[in-house]
Amino acid sequence: PTTIYLKDYTPFGYLVDSVHLTFDLTPHATRVTSRIAFRPNPNATDRTFFLHGEELTLIRAAIDGGEITPELSDKGLTAITPDAPFIWEAEVEIDPGNNTALEGLYMSNGMYCTQCEAEGFRKITYYPDRPDVMSTFTVRINGDLPVLLSNGNPTAKGEGWAEWTDPWPKPAYLFALVAGDLIAHPGQFTTMSDREVELNLWVRPGDEGKCAFGMEALKKSMKWDEDVYGREYDLDVFNIVAVDDFNMGAMENKGLNIFNSSAVLASPETSTDANFERIEAIIAHEYFHNWTGNRITCRDWFQLCLKEGLTVFRDAQFTSDMRSAPVKRIHDAIDLRSRQFPEDNGPLSHPVRPESFQEINNFYTATVYEKGAEIIGMLKRLVGDEAYAKALDLYFDRHDGQACTIEDWLKVFEDTTDRDLSQFKRWYSQSGTPRIAVAEAWDDGTYTLTLSQRTEPTPGQDDKQPQVIPVAVGLLGPNGDEVRSTEVLELTETEQSFQFTGLAARPVASILRDFSAPVILEQDQTNSERAFLLAHDTDPFNRWQAGRSLAQDTLLRMISDEAAPDADYLDGLLSVLRDGELDPAYRALMLGLPAQSELAATLYERGDTPDPMAIWAAVETLRQATAQHMQDLLPRLHGEAMVDAPYSPDAEQSGKRALGSAALALTSRLDGGAMAADAYANADNMTLQLTALSCLLRARKGEEELAGFYDQWKHDRLVMDKWFGLQVSMASPEATPKTARALTEHPDFNWKNPNRFRAVMGALAMNHAGFHQTDGTGYQLLADWLIRLDPVNPQTTARMCAAFQTWTRYDAGRQDLMRAQLTRIAETPNLSRDTTEMVSRILG
């Protein structure tokens, strides 16, 4: 496979002034006719006229009306062109009905839809399929279906046809087309300059009852982007379509967002609070792309973080504003540690702006998205809110309509603040998670904090340079009062000391408040210091972190030394949970424990070999001890969690339910699931129903309820995904691979549907002790299915290979077993480029 390098970027030899496309839709022989106005690009030297094109049958090609015979390859075509503006015409035939890869034009339940990011447009017609080639598009769709949609505004329609015009120049990856028997859930939005926008959420008949929440989320997002970023929507219509077969969450196509139905459809009966929150965030994310991604796009795919990091950052700000900022920040830190840190510190490690790739689809990663967003958070913290707002205004003014780079992005900050961001820029090029070691000294009223940073070598990067790290610090006095409020220290050297003078007594430092940088803090804290911070820290993130550190410390000692659960942890937790003044959602988070895979990572980093069963057993023991320790408080927590109002997925109600669910899970460890059985019988929403069912399954009960759940919900695809996934996540470690295998034999296991495949195989990979059973059956089952899925859907297969990315952490026996499965996948004949690249990077 060919490797593509950032350093090799050159502009395309031609500019595109307009694109006209006509689609004659039939399932197996769709005709696509293109008429494209090209002209030589004055800023380019290479005039090779190469158009990308894959899996296309060329019927006819012409330049300025004269038929030509271009040179064809499996990647595209080359032709001789005039040295002046010209019109390119082509007619191709494609087969959407057999497109199982879900890239390009494909069919899902009888509906035509597209997915063009990153390089799917080349499966629709011949085109310079690269993000720096931008053009207006006019699209005519001929098809015998009631709803025919494309980007932009509707400009004409008749029986069996429709025409759409998108006035905003865009790259081909934002092209979209949908045709099907769909029903609209309508809405309306008046923009800040009083323009009326027609909104529609298009769904399959039967899903009409699941649209209201998504529509409200869209309106809130539109309003928020006006209020906070001054960004107004720029077309007469905004359409969202829900599709069942989709490789990722959703896609921001201009004026026609396409969503995985799991990321947009919701009702209280079928969706959990977590589903609602995720849907609100994804709708916001895709909508925000209209400016950060669509109006200003990426010059090339190496710059992916330009749009994704910024848009994730914006959607996180939105969620903080709509819900609770501390709760959102804690969720983000948990997510980063469980998904991004393993990537950054393993064989798949890559810079936020990668320098090379074979298959760009493999770089839609937690590093590009979430670490990319963290970088923006750090930048904002360093320059301050006001300068950030100014820099963003300048970014939109200066670059509207352009395809940009990270250099363009940083330049607007340099120009607004006069800061030199050359060292800061290392965040984009240097992979790996920086570690900050903490040393403290106290001398006669002066507290000295010495911070030193280091980043371990990562693939292709042996030597690391110091980065600019904003470390937010506050100091607490012995009575728990804050003696120094939060200050952002700028760590730029390998080692740096910071002094705080004039203190009456030695303080307790609260370091990395609000998780001010995506780093690992190495601090030799005593458990009494942690307990002190858990009781007193005024920074909600670090207060939670203190509890987390206590939990981690006790778990590590339980695993390595067979120690008993730590009293500081149990007592500290009890007092926080007793505090009725604290937000229930926050208290629910306090009850969480580090993921078992995270404990494995910490053990490995300490030089120990993690034993997944020992980790699992320690977590079980600690949970049991917590339940016993909190026995008297649990009824009160249940009481506090009672919601005496019609169901709403808002932050207040869902916070209460989160606390109630955590209390129910602990209670089930004491009463054998009696209360959960009751809760299941009385549940009137999916959050409670699923919580109760998971408690029962964990108590090794609930067979009857599981069967009842199936009968109740077998008609609902999204709920059935939960039914499949839950059984695998709740299975005992020994039973996990067997349970997953049995589910793959279930008649409803439609493995070609990415959601259903992920429900089972994703849950298998996430069940740490179950996946890592010593007999290797977990590894083998996953590999069997990845090999089967690869020719059908390479993108989803490749993403799921990441389940093996931590294989070198474990003992020799497990390593042999995982290596054998990875090798078996790698040696499969005709393996896709996507999976080949992933497996070879994982094997190293």
Whose Cβ is closer to Zn ion: residue 404's or residue 634's? 404
Residues 6 or more apart in contact with residue 363 via CB below 8 angstroms: 301, 304, 350, 354, 357
Check residue 6 and report its DSSP letter.
Answer: G
Q: Distance between terminal CA atoms of the chain?
A: 16
The site map against ligand HT7 for 192-231 (x = CB under 6 A) is ----------------------------------------
- Between 287 and 647, name the residue whose CB sits nearer to Zn ion: 287
Residues 193-232 that bind Zn ion (CB under 5 A): none
Our CA angle for 404, 222, 376, nearest 5°, is 40
Q: Does 129 bind ligand HT7 (CB under 6 A)?
A: no
Total residues at interface with Zn ion (CB under 5 A) = 2
148 phi and psi, to 5 degrees? -125, 115
How far apart CA 473 and CA 485 sit, in angstroms, is 8
Helix 736-744 and helix 754-766, axial crossing angle in degrees, nearest 10? 170
Least distance in Å: CB of 365 to ligand HT7? 11
Partner from ligand HT7, Zn ion, none contacting 553, C-beta within 5 to 8 A by type: none
H-run or E-run covering 819: helix 812-826
Give the residue from 627, 525, 644, 635 showing the smallest Cα distance to 573: 627
Choose among Zn ion, ligand HT7, none what residue 277 binds, the Cβ cut-off being 5 to 8 Å by kind: none
Contact 768, 749 (CB under 8 A): no
The catalytic residue among 252, 286, 370, 374 is 286
CA of residue 449 relative to chain centroid, distance: 35
Binding flag, residue 253, ligand HT7 (CB under 6 A): no
Q: 308 vs 539, which CB is nearer to ligand HT7?
A: 308
DSSP-assigned beta bridge partners for residue 198: 188, 237
Rounded to a whole number of angstroms, the minimum distance from the CB of residue 134 to ligand HT7 is: 16
Q: Considering beta carbons, is residue 344 or 370 the nearer one to Zn ion?
A: 370
Q: How far is the CB of 102 from Zn ion (least distance, A)?
A: 17
Give the amino acid at 170.
Answer: K
In the complex, least distance from residue 247 CB atom to ligand HT7, rounded to whole angstroms: 4
Q: How many Cα atoms occupy the beta-carbon half-sphere of 348 within 13 Å?
A: 27
- In 3D, which of 56, 49, 54 has the Cα closest to residue 33? 56
The CA R_g of the chain, rounded to the nearest whole Å, is 27
Contact flags string 88-117 toward ligand HT7, x per CB under 6 A: ---------------------------x-x
Is 370 in the active site?
Answer: no
Of the candidate residues 51, 178, 201, 251, the single one contacting ligand HT7 (CB under 6 A): 251
115 contact, one of Zn ion, ligand HT7, none, CB 5-8 Å limit per kind: ligand HT7
CB of 289 to ligand HT7, least distance (A): 6
Taking CB under 6 A as the rule, which mask of x and - marks residues 257-286 in contact with ligand HT7? ----------------------------xx
The two three-digit tokens of residue 447, written as one number: 């507290």
Distances (CA, A) of 570 to 347, 449, 548: 37, 30, 12
- The full DSSP string for 474-504 is EEE-TTS-EEEEEEEEEE-SSEEEEEE-S-S
* Pick 308 or 374: Cβ nearer Zn ion: 308
Instruction: Compare residues 308 and 537 and give the one whose CB is closer to Zn ion.
Output: 308
Residue whose CB is nearest to ligand HT7 in the complex, by number = 248
Residues 6 or more apart whose CB falls under 8 angstroms from that of 148 comprise: 141, 157, 161, 162, 178, 179
Query: Exposed e or buried b for every residue in 123-150, given b needs 16+ CB within 10 A?
Result: bbbbbbbbbbbbbbbbbbbbbebebbbb
Say if strands 482-491 and 469-476 run parallel, antiparallel, or are unpaired.
antiparallel
Stretch that binds ligand HT7, among 242-250, 377-385, 677-685, 796-804 (CB under 6 A): 242-250
Which is nearer to Zn ion, 307 or 328 (by Cβ)? 307
Among 364, 424, 427, 544, binds ligand HT7 (CB under 6 A): 364
Least distance CB 152 / ligand HT7 (angstroms): 18
Judged by CB under 6 A, the residue of 174, 182, 222, 248 near ligand HT7 is 248
364 makes contact, choosing from ligand HT7, Zn ion, none, with CB < 5 to 8 Å by partner type, with: ligand HT7
Range 310-329, binding Zn ion (CB under 5 A): 311
What are the beta bridge partners of residue 454? Answer: 435
| Subset of 299-328 contacting ligand HT7 (CB under 6 A) | 308
Q: Which residues of 777-804 are buried (b: 16+ CB within 10 A; e: fewer)?
A: bbbbbbbebbbebbbebbbbbbbbbbbb
**Which residues, listed in sequence order, are joined to residue 139 by a DSSP beta bridge?**
21, 164
Taking the complex as a whole, the smallest distance from the CB of residue 311 to Zn ion amounts, in Å, to 5
Residue 310 CB, shortest distance to ligand HT7, in Å, is 11
User: Rule CB under 6 A: is residue 247 a binding residue for ligand HT7?
Assistant: yes
Pick the piece of the chain touching Zn ion (CB under 5 A) from 107-115, 214-222, 301-309, 614-622. 301-309
Interface with ligand HT7 by CB under 6 A: which residues?
115, 117-118, 247-248, 250-252, 285-286, 289, 308, 364
Interface with Zn ion by CB under 5 A: which residues?
308, 311
Known catalytic residues?
A: 286
